[in-house]
Structure 1
Amino acid sequence: MLMLGGVPRFLPLGLLFLGLIAQSVALGFQYRNGRHVHGFLGEPSKIATLQRSQEPDDLWFDQILDHFHGADRRQTWKQRYFVNAAHYRNDSTAPIFLMIGGEGEASKKWMNEGAWIHYAEHFGALCIQLEHRFYGKSHPTSDLSTKNLVYLSSEQALADLANFVAAMKSKYNLADTQKWIAFGGSYPGSLAAWAREKYPHLIYGSISSSGPLLAEVDFKQYFEVVKSSLANYNPGCVEAVTRSFAQVEILLKHMIGQRNLDEKFRTCTPIKDSIENQLDISNFFENLAGNFAGVVQYNKDNSPHANLTIDDICDVMLNSTVGPPVTRLGIINEMLLQQSNATCLDYKYDKMVADMKNVSWDSEAAKGMRQWTYQTCNEFGFYQTSENKSDTFGDRFGVDFFIRQCMDIYSEHMDSKYLEQVVAQTNKYYGALKPDTTNVLYVHGSIDPWHALGLTASKNPKTPTIYIEGTAHCANMYEPVQTDPKQLVAARNKILKYLAKLLDAYTST
C-alpha cells in the first residue's frame, strides 16, 4: 500500500487564473504549427473556484538519460512529477491514474481539476502526473543544443514512463493488482495510446484525447478542418476570410498598399523592407492564418486558450460596416495582438530562426517551441500547410517553408528526404491509424483540426472511439461546467463507463 510519508504541504491558488494567452510573446508567435506557445493542452479551467484547488509540491525522480544505449544508462537526471492522494482509497485494487506531460510545462492545476479528477473521486484513484523530458523544469541536459536534443523523442519519453511506473510501484509498495490508467491530451494523447501499446505489462489502459496517431509531413488537412469549422458557423465567414487574404496579396503589389498593410496589421517591420524576402512574407501569411487556426482549435473548450471563439471572429469577418474584408482581417489580428500583449506583429524570418536557435534554458524558445519543433523535424512532421493560390489562406506557406526551418534551425541534413524517412519510421513503429492496442479509448472533437490525423471511427471493438460533434481540442479533459453541450456531457459519461469496464475485472491483454 502507498506510504506517502506524511501529508504534503499545499499552497492555495488565487481565485483568478490569468490565462496563458494573456502572456507576452517574445517570438512573435502565440500560436504556431498547431501549438500554443505554452503547449497544446491548456490549464483545466479559466478561474479556479473549486474548494479542492490546491497546489502540490514538486517531486523529483532520478531518470535515465538514454534508455537504449548501455553506456548512457549510467547517466541520470531529475524528472519532475506531482502526486494527489486526496481521493485514493489505498487498497490492493485501487487504480493509479497517470497523466502524461507533453510539449510544455506540466501544470499543477491538473492535479486538482479536470475530468480525470472527477473520475479519480469515483474510483478512489491515486493521481500522478509526470512531466515530459526537456519540457518545464525537467532538464536532462545542460542546454538545448542540437547534440543534446538527440535524447528528445517520443520513444525515450515512453521509456521514461515505463521506468517511472516500475520505480513508483517499488517505492510506494503498490500491488500488482492495482491497474495503471494513462491519460493524455494532444501529443500526450498519442503517448497514452502508445504507452499501452509498448508497455502493456505496466499500463493497463489509456484514455487518449485528441491524439494524432498518423505522422505526416504535409498536414494539409489541418486548414481544411479550420475552414469547415468556420463554415459550420456561417459559410459567409469562410468567403470573407478568402477575400481578405486575396486583398492582402493585391496590397502587397504596390508601396501604398504595403503601407496600408503596415497600418492594418501593426507590423514591427515595414512590409516594404521585406517584400523581396519570400520567407518573411511566408511568415507574415502564416501569422494571419494562425489567428484563425488557434481560435478554431480551442473553440469553447473551457481552457484559457479559448478566450476568443469562432463566433467572435466570424462576426467580425461578416461585419461589412467596418470596411472591406482586409480591414476586418486586420481587426482580427489586432484582437489577437491585444490578447497576447504584443506591441506589434513580428514576422521576420531571420529573427524567428535566431530566437529558435537560442539553446539556453532561460530563453523564450525553451518554453517548448525549440523542443517541439525539433520533434516535428525528427519524428512527426505535422506541418500545417497552405499552398494553393486559389484557396482561402493562399499559397504562401507550403511544406518547403517548414522543411527550410528544420534545416536553418537545427541541421542542413533535415531536408525533405530525411523528413519523409523519419515520418515513415514513426508510422511503422507505432502503427499509425491501425494501432495494435487494446484497452485504449480514442476521443476526438469534430472542430479540432487534429482529429484529421487521429482514430475517429473504428469497427474493431478492441479500438473503441468517441467522436464528439461540435467540440474542440481535448475538450473532454477540462473541468465540466454547466454550459457544456449535451454531447460533451455524454462523452464524459461514456469515458466514465469505459473506465468502469476496465477497472471492474481483468480482461485479456
Structure 2
Amino acid sequence: MISLLCNVFVGIFLIVNIKQGDSLYVFKTKYFDTKLDHFNFLSNATFKLRYLINDTYWSPKSDSPIFFYTGNEGDITVFAQNTGFMWEIAPDFKALIVFAEHRYYGESLPFGNKSREPEHLGYLSSSQALMDYVELIAELKQNKQDNRHPVIVFGGSYGGMLAAWMRMKYPGTVAGAIAASAPIWQFTDMTPCNVYNRVLTSAFSLASRRCSDNIRKSWKAIDNITKTDDGKSWLNNTWRLCKPIKTSQNVSTLKDYLNDMYSNLAMVNYPYPATFLADLPPYPVRAFCENLRYEDLEGTKLLTALFSGVSLYFNYTGKAKCLDYSGAYQQGLDDTLWQYQACTEMVMPMCADGRYDMFEPSEWNLTEYAQNCYKTYKATPQPWLVKNLYGGKNIHTVSNIIFSNGLLDPWSSGGVLRNVSATAQAIIMPDTAHHLDLRSSNPNDPMSVIIARRYYRYIIRYWISQ
C-alpha cells in the first residue's frame, strides 16, 4: 500500500532550499485563532494558525497591497525563505508580506500532537485552508469593510493551486494570483494518467536520449541481477546499500526510491546548486545522465553507470556512508498528512507504459487505490471533488490569475498551458523546472524566467490599480 501511495504522490510537492549565499529573510511569527470548521454554523471550536509577517515597507494608512503566500503542505518558514521573488518586489510596492501556514502542517496543529491521528484528520482540506486564509486577511485589514489594501496571493506547486483557487472562489478578497507550477488539472477526466511520466522522461531525454533509454532498460537489469544470491550480493556491494537486498519487497522499495529520485531531479533541475535531501549541482539531470549517454550499456555495466548518477543524488558531498533506499518513504514533507489529502480530494491518477516513458508499465487502478486509502485512513477518495469545487477546465470566466509553468517540470503536465480568459493567462518557460520563477533572482536564471518576473511586476501593478 505504501508503495502505491508513494509512487503516485510522495515527492509531488517538495521543499527545495536554494543555495544563494546566506540571504535570509526577516519576519515576525504570529498566531491567528481560526475556526476548526468554517462550514458548520454550530461549531465554535478554534485553533491557532501560524503566520509570518514583515511590515518593513508597509504603511497601513495608505493603499499599499498585501502580498500573501498561501502555505503548502509543510513548515511555512521554509517557504518564506525560498520565495525570494515576493521579498524582492515588496519594497517597490510598499507591500505587507505575509506567509500563512496550511492547517495541520508545521505548528498549525488543530489537535496538537494528535493532529496526525486518522480520527482527527477530517478537517484537513483545501476548502478549510482557503477559508483560514480569507479570515486571516480580514483580520490583517483590521476592518472587514476595508478594501484599501488589495491582496495579491502567491503560491508554488500545491500552494500555487491554492492561490489560483483562492482568486476563483473569493474574488472579493483577492485581487490577483501568481500560481506557479500549479497542476490544477492533474485530476480525473482532465489529464491522462500517463502525461506526467512522459514529461518527466522528456527532461532526461533532453539531457541525452540514450540516458532515458538506459533508465528504461535498468528496471529489467535490476530484476535480472536480483534473481540470484550472487547478483544480490553484487548489487548490495556495488550500490553500497545500507539495507541489503534480500527479498522481492526490498527490490520494490529500491525501485520506489529510484522513481522518487527521477521526479525530484527533474523538479530541481535548476541552473544553480540546490539542496534537497542532499546537495545537488547545477542542472542535476544533465549531471546524472553523464555516464548514461552510451549505447552499449547492459547488465552490470548499465547498473554501474546508473549508480554513478544515483550517487550524485544521495552523496554529492561524499559524506553519505551508504544508500538508504528506504528513504523512498521519508520525504521532507509530512507524508501522513499529504497522503491523507491524496486519499480524499487530491486524487491525481498516474500510470506508465514503458514505451513512451522510461518507467515500468503500471496501470492506474482506482479500486485498489481506494481500498488502500480506506485501510489506512478509513477515507474514500473522491476523484471528482476538486473538479466540482473549483470548476475543472470550465474556468473561462475567471480573471487576474497568472498560471506559470516550466516545461522541464513534470508537473507542467497538469498545469494550465494556455490562456483561459483575457486576464487569466498562461506563462510558459521552456527551459525552467519547478516554480523557479518564485525563487530569488540568480545570475544563472534563464531569460524566460527573467522576462516572466518582469511581467509579474507589471501585471501586479495593473491588478492593484483596478
Task: Name the TM-score, length of structure 1 as normaliser.
Answer: 0.80
Is the CA contact 2:16–2:82 (under 8 Å) kept in the aligned structure 1? no
Residue 345 of structure 1 is matched in structure 2 by 324
Amino acid at match of 1:313: F
Per-residue deviation, residues 104-156 of structure 1 (Å, max 9, x unmatched): 10126726961112221221111111110011111111311111111100011
Provide, for residues 473-494 of structure 1, a one-character-per-residue CA deviation record: whole Å limited to 9, x for no partner.
0110000011111111111111
SS at match of 1:148: helix
Is the 8 Å Cα contact of residues 229 and 296 (structure 1) preserved in structure 2? yes
1:237-276 aligned within 5 A: 237-272=211-246, 274-275=247-248
Alpha-carbon separation, structure 2, partners of 1:282 and 1:383: 20
Tell me the SS of whatever aligns to 1:164: helix
Task: Give per-residue Cα distances to partners, 1:308-335, cap 9 Å, x unaligned.
Answer: 4111101132267996222122233333
**Paired residue secondary structure (1:81):** strand
Query: How far did residue 425 of structure 1 move?
Result: 1.7
Q: Residue 330 of structure 1 aligns to which amino acid in structure 2?
A: F
Pair 1:231-2:205 in alignment:
yes
CA distance in 2, matches of 1:195, 1:390: 36
Matched, 1:392 2:362: no
Q: Hey, what's the Cα distance between the residues in 1 that align with 2:15 and 2:139?
A: 27
Residue 57 of structure 1: aligned partner: 28
Residue 410 (structure 1) aligns with: 377
Aligned to 1:487: 448
Distance across 1 between alignment mates of 2:370 and 2:311: 29
- 1:56-455 to structure 2, matched below 5 A, reads 56-72=27-43, 74-107=44-77, 110=80, 114-142=84-112, 143=114, 144-170=116-142, 175-216=146-187, 219-272=193-246, 274-275=247-248, 277=249, 280-300=250-270, 303-305=274-276, 307-308=280-281, 309-318=284-293, 324-338=301-315, 341=320, 343-347=322-326, 367-386=333-352, 388=354, 392-395=358-361, 399=365, 405-411=372-378, 414=379, 418-419=380-381, 422-435=382-395, 436-455=397-416
CA contact (8 A) 2:200 2:410 kept: yes
Aligned equivalents of 2:355, 2:447: Cα separation in 1:
39
| Pair 301,87 (structure 1): closer, same or farther in 2 beyond 3 Å | farther
Q: After superposition, where does 1:29-68 map in structure 2 within 5 Å?
A: 33=8, 35-36=10-11, 40-43=14-17, 45-50=18-23, 53-68=24-39
Aligned residue identity for 1:327: T
In structure 2, what is the Cα distance between the partners aligned to 1:76 and 1:190? 25
Q: Is the 8 A contact 2:198 2:357 kept in 1?
A: no
RMSD: 3.1
What stretches of structure 1 of length at least 5 have no aligned partner? 1-26, 353-363
Describe the superposition over 1:7-60 as per-residue Cα deviations: whole angstroms up to 9, x where unpaired. xxxxxxxxxxxxxxxxxxxx99xx9656549x53434x314444xx34323211
- Structure 2's unaligned 5+ residue stretches are none
Per-residue CA deviation, residues 370-424 of structure 1 (Å, 9 max, x unaligned), is: 101110110122354435489522136855775565344323xx5xxx43xx121
Cα distance change of structure 1 residues 285 and 111 upon mapping to structure 2, 3 Å threshold = closer
SS at match of 2:384: helix
CA contact 2:193–2:364 (8 Å) conserved in 1: no
Letter of the 2:120 counterpart? N
User: What SS does the corresponding residue of 2:428 show, helix, strand or coil?
Assistant: strand
Cα distance in 1 for partners of 2:372, 2:237 equals 28
Q: Which amino acid aligns with 2:359?
A: F
Structure 1 residues 495 and 179, CA gap change in structure 2 (3 angstroms): same
Q: Count matched residues.
A: 447
Name 1:359's counterpart in structure 2: none
Equivalent-residue separation in structure 2 for 1:432 and 1:79 (angstroms): 29
Give the aligned partner of residue 20 of structure 1.
none
**Take 1:109 and 1:231, find their aligned partners in 2: how far apart are those partners?**
30
> Residues 500 and 407 (structure 1 numbering): CA distance in 2 closer, same or farther, change over 3 Å?
same
1:473 aligns with 2:434: yes
> Does the Cα contact within 8 Å between 1:111 and 1:129 map onto a contact in 2?
no
Tell me the SS of whatever aligns to 1:263: helix
Cα separation, 1, equivalents of 2:222 and 2:55: 55
Q: 3-state DSSP class of the match of 2:343? A: helix
- Cα deviation, 1:346-374, whole Å, max 9, x if unaligned, reads 4499xx6xxxxxxxxxxx78951110111
CA–CA distance in structure 1, aligned partners of residues 344 and 314 of structure 2: 31
- What SS does the aligned partner of 2:105 have? coil
Instruction: Describe the shift of the 1:393–1:108 C-alpha distance in structure 2 as closer, same or farther (beyond 3 A).
Output: closer
In structure 2, the CA distance between the partners of 1:398 and 1:301, relative to structure 1 (3 Å rule), is farther
Q: Which amino acid aligns with 1:284?
A: L
**% same residue:** 24
Query: In the TM superposition, what is the alpha-carbon distance from 1:441 to its structure 2 partner?
Result: 0.9
| Distance in 1 of aligned mates of 2:243 and 2:364 | 23
**CA deviation after TM superposition for structure 1 residue 157, in Å:** 0.4
**Residue 13 of structure 1 aligns with which residue?**
none
Mark the CA change 1:500 to 1:342 in structure 2 (over 3 Å): closer, same or farther: farther
- Contact 1:83/1:129 (<8 A) preserved: yes
Residue identity in the other structure for 1:409: T
* Superposed displacement of residue 91, structure 1: 3.8
CA distance in 1 between counterparts of 2:76 and 2:271 reads 19
Distance 1:170 1:228 in 2: 49
- Partners of 1:365 and 1:486 lie apart in 2 by 32
Secondary structure of the 1:381 match is coil
The AA in structure 2 aligned to 1:181 is: I
CA distance in 2, matches of 1:245, 1:454: 29
Give the direction of change, closer, same or farther, for the CA distance of 1:109–1:191 in structure 2 (3 Å limit). Answer: closer
Question: Contact (CA 8 Å) 1:206, 1:441: kept in 2 or not?
Answer: yes
Q: 1:446 to 1:113 in 2, by over 3 A?
A: closer
Aligned to 1:15: none
Q: Secondary structure at the match of 1:423?
A: coil
